Structure 1
């Protein structure tokens, strides 16, 4: 069946389709886009995939049918494949199918190094280095404020913020706790204990623009579409909760329309949005030269007090729900339609 598009989901999401309990995934939008494009979505999870076929849910004639089908020629990966077993299985599928966004959890330090090598994209990067106790001491001598964050996690988990105060006292934010004030050696010991040998990086703090006294950044959805070219599908602002050091909605952040944030800071909303889009597209182009399957990402980007644009991190599996919070329903739908347009383009090649 040449019009079948595979959509690979986490097992929990896949099992929730018939119960309409799919968490952040708005499966109905995939179905709607597929019907409009004359395609048949076939939902799978790795557990039910064999060498050349998969048991999955086929959406056709407005209903789901459980059936075993050949591995589709094109697959949009929305599953988090972190274990070696799942990665091997995904690689095996990729040998007989075009899997886009195959690897969708990208090590932050690896992405930083790829972009640092690009003349055009490196301008958007804050200083960053691999975490070590020695590099922590260096950071404390160089920066007035910096983040220590896991290289391989999402939604703001495990992130520490460190800022210098008068008399060589350091303020450290950790988890949901109130910031603690520590002497230099106490700070080093505290952070080292939290890192506990895991893979972390140190990233200089961007002096983010503020909204109502709280820092904000932007989630920029950058996706390949109908001609295989990159485009920006949507931009949404994320404002940190009072006293918090991360803007993630999962950590109490608030979604605010980017135009409102730009106006609040005296930026021309049309000009600033265009600048953000151009930066995001440049970064996506740079990354896709090194990671060919990358095609659907959510970039966290910041704007400093002078209006300069910075890349904070790249999320390989954008959850997209910020548009739902903002009632940007057309944009929310387009974040599902665009990968399907790209899938149709790949099928036609």
Structure 2
């Protein structure tokens, strides 16, 4: 039976994931879309997968992948009435996305600015949440020097960036000297200095960067960890915590990004034998904190349906917001060789479809 377009949801994928749906699908992408499809079938709905640049202003149809008897086939279909965006966008895409909304399409995860410092300022507007952010400034020669006087360890990160690329760290050593940790040709390097800031650092912060105090993260077997907390709108159009992924840094490293070699665990795996942090207390604290964050940020960004918060937990069990991800790459955490690594992570794929289906006629 042919599915009516009024019951179809559009999913905008990154190009690399879209390409893996053609020919012989990548097993991890195949698993991801099968979870989406099963959720849609539950609501008597179907899906169409396409890229952001497949959309053309004024066009009523789109070429995208739809489920066929065997795998996924490219088909021309009317642009779906509800579109769930699973990719970031640039300012050049804004007129196109705005035109879709002007035509009456419902578009989720549409925003105008996801710069890290802008997010920090939004969160700072809430007195409670502001206490759970690291001290942060836009990086320049003056602000870096000011922060070095206040803290013994700092993080320098691009104002826009993903998977930990371009992040540097400055740490004071016992000798009183400072050490700048940075990556060059994918290898970590060190540069020591005392008073004069390294030229390499000054050159990098000519482009917009943040300078932040370093949160003394809790550790797992001596390796720092933080949490990716998925907060999504559900079928009742309420915010819920769909999953918590724990990202544990590689041996000898301080970055917990999956793209930098971190490993994903469940919170239960990490805290079951932790000497000072108990699962029940931390889980409740994190969920309450994450929901407050989502509600507050969504009051400033009306079209968001999905946040991936990077939340650090101090050694005293205090949660700190490290970063707000508008688009979270959940397959990187939860799927390997075509299999879901943990059943409790399934919700990050089914909840968006449940929410989107609540808008279908």
Is the pair's TM-score, using the shorter chain for normalization, greater than 0.5? Answer: yes
User: In structure 1, what is the Cα distance between the partners aligned to 2:295 and 2:276?
Assistant: 30
1:112 and 2:120 correspond: yes
Partner of 2:53: 47
User: In structure 2, what is the Cα distance between the partners aligned to 1:45 and 1:254?
Assistant: 29
Partner of 1:28: 34
1:11 and 2:15 correspond: yes
Partner of 1:332: 345
Give the gaps of 5 or more residues in structure 2: none
* Contact kept? 1:225, 1:231, Cα under 8 Å: yes
Partner of 1:301: 311
1:79 and 2:74 correspond: no
TM-score for the superposition, normalised by structure 1: 0.92
Quote the offset at 1:189 in angstroms: 2.5
- SS of the aligned residue for 2:360 comes to helix
User: In structure 1, what is the Cα distance between the partners aligned to 2:113 and 2:181?
Assistant: 25
Task: Give CA deviations for 1:120-178 in whole Å, capped at 9, x if unaligned.
Answer: 32122111111111111111111111100011111100000111123431112112544
Q: 1:178 to 1:64 in 2, by over 3 A?
A: closer
- SS of the aligned residue for 1:198 comes to coil
User: In structure 2, what is the Cα distance between the partners aligned to 1:141 and 1:209?
Assistant: 24
Q: 1:71 to 1:118 in 2, by over 3 A?
A: same
TM-score for the superposition, normalised by structure 2: 0.89
1:56 and 2:80 correspond: no
* Contact kept? 1:104, 1:316, Cα under 8 Å: no
* Contact kept? 2:28, 2:335, Cα under 8 Å: no
User: In structure 2, what is the Cα distance between the partners aligned to 1:259 and 1:253?
Assistant: 17
- CA RMSD after TM alignment: 2.2
For 1:114-129, what aligned pairs fall within 5 Å after superposition? 114-129=122-137
* Contact kept? 1:172, 1:187, Cα under 8 Å: no
User: In structure 2, what is the Cα distance between the partners aligned to 1:92 and 1:61?
Assistant: 34
Q: 1:106 to 1:308 in 2, by over 3 A?
A: same
Partner of 2:149: 141
* Contact kept? 1:105, 1:152, Cα under 8 Å: no
Q: 1:262 to 1:59 in 2, by over 3 A?
A: same
Q: 1:199 to 1:268 in 2, by over 3 A?
A: same
Which residue, out of 186, 194, 199, partners 1:184?
A: 194
For 1:139-288, what aligned pairs fall within 5 Å after superposition? 139-175=147-183, 176-195=186-205, 197-263=206-272, 264-288=274-298
1:322 and 2:326 correspond: no
User: In structure 2, what is the Cα distance between the partners aligned to 1:70 and 1:342?
Assistant: 21
Partner of 2:357: 344
* Contact kept? 2:8, 2:45, Cα under 8 Å: yes
Quote the offset at 1:261 in angstroms: 2.3
- SS of the aligned residue for 1:280 comes to helix
Q: 1:190 to 1:30 in 2, by over 3 A?
A: same
User: In structure 2, what is the Cα distance between the partners aligned to 1:63 and 1:251?
Assistant: 32
Which residue, out of 59, 81, 98, partners 1:91?
A: 98
User: In structure 1, what is the Cα distance between the partners aligned to 2:219 and 2:289?
Assistant: 21
* Contact kept? 1:149, 1:158, Cα under 8 Å: yes
Quote the offset at 1:185 in angstroms: 4.0
- SS of the aligned residue for 1:277 comes to helix
